Homo-oligomer: A and B are copies of this chain.
Amino acid sequence: MIDQLIERIKKLKAPIVVGLDPNLAFVPDQIKEAAFKECGQTLEGAAEAIWQFNKGIVDAVGDLVPAVKPQIAMYEKFGIPGLEAFGKTVDYCRQKGLVVIGDIKRGDIGSTSEAYACGHIGPVCVGDQEFYGFREDAVTLNPYMGSDSVMPFIKKAKESGKGVFILVKTSNPSSGEFQDQELADGRRLFELVAGKVDEWGADSVGRYGYSEVGAVVGATYPEQAAIVRKLMPKAYILVPGYGAQGATAQDILPNFDENGLGAIVNSSRGIIAAYTKEKYKEDYGPEGFADAARAAVLDMREDIGSALERRQAAGK
């Protein structure tokens, strides 16, 4: 996964992942109406609406970005029909050549994590046959239960050429409650987790020096990002929190290495709901939601690209 991701990032000059977190509240009315007409105002109708919405977004931005990150909660919310839309979205994006990061934040005791790993980065065996439940290229994981909860995913990832991103310091306001706790040895919890991520990834470093074991570090915490970047030099960092959650291009810089690699920045609402934002509203509107998303990706690429260039120029 990691080499393919880095190659696409370099080729497209876009360390950007589009978060496919479709909330019905910002799916344009024309899409919802058509979906409800076809499937009723039901779970099936909601799922059809988010699937059609996703397709529009992916068709509009798929040539600009290396990766997408569907947040499974937004689909699981609508039960089985929603999860079908998740599966279809994953498959559609992979067909377009996008790296698909399933934002699933799973983690459990060993045998259970293994079941999740089979289901998401697969394959899963039924008798002597192999199948894929869902088929992401990488998934996000929660580390609270320790090594034996993440190792089955890492093992499966190695076998299947896939990857994982482990929560180290999350973007939400209360992430510090546990993650920033100072330990008896002076480190903070997220630093200990970052050290473990480095260990866990040691065996799966690809050709660019980065491992299949990446990390999640919220854009909203640049100070912590600077610390963990050093603690886990081989971990690619998935950076949520840019845009809608308040972080700027300046804030995400500490996640990147000196070559402008090492991090990929997520934006969800900032891109997929761009047509509702002041900046794009007038030019696009609901009918132009996909074009607005494309414009937002171009603006984000420019914003991050020039911040990286300014840093480069300043020789930092």
Contacts and interface: CB of A to CB of B under 8 A. Distances in A.
A42 B172 contact: no
A110 B172 contact: yes
Contacts of A74: 112, 115
Interface string A162-178: 00000100111111111
Contacts of A116: 73, 76-77
A96 to B, nearest CB: 21
Nearest to A127: B41
A248 interface: no
A175 B145 contact: yes
Interface residues of A, number: 74
Interface stretch (A60-68, A188-196, A272-280): A188-196
Contact of A83 (B80, B144, B181): B80
Contact of A78 (B45, B119, B192): B119
Interface in A180-225: 181-184, 186, 189, 192-193, 196
Number of chain copies forming the complex: 2
Interface string A136-152: 00000011111111000
Contacts of A314: none
A134 interface: yes
Contacts of A21: 112
A183 B79 CA distance: 40
A115 B193 contact: no
B189 A170 contact: no
A201 B302 CA distance: 46
A22 to B, nearest CB: 10
A193 B172 contact: no
Interface of A: 21, 23-24, 36, 41-43, 45-46, 71, 73-74, 76-80, 82-84, 87, 105-113, 115-116, 118-120, 124, 126-129, 131-134, 142-149, 167, 170-179, 181-184, 186, 189, 192-193, 196, 240, 245
10 shortest interchain CB distances as A-B pairs: A79-B133, A146-B174, A146-B177, A182-B184, A73-B115, A77-B119, A109-B172, A77-B115, A144-B144, A148-B174
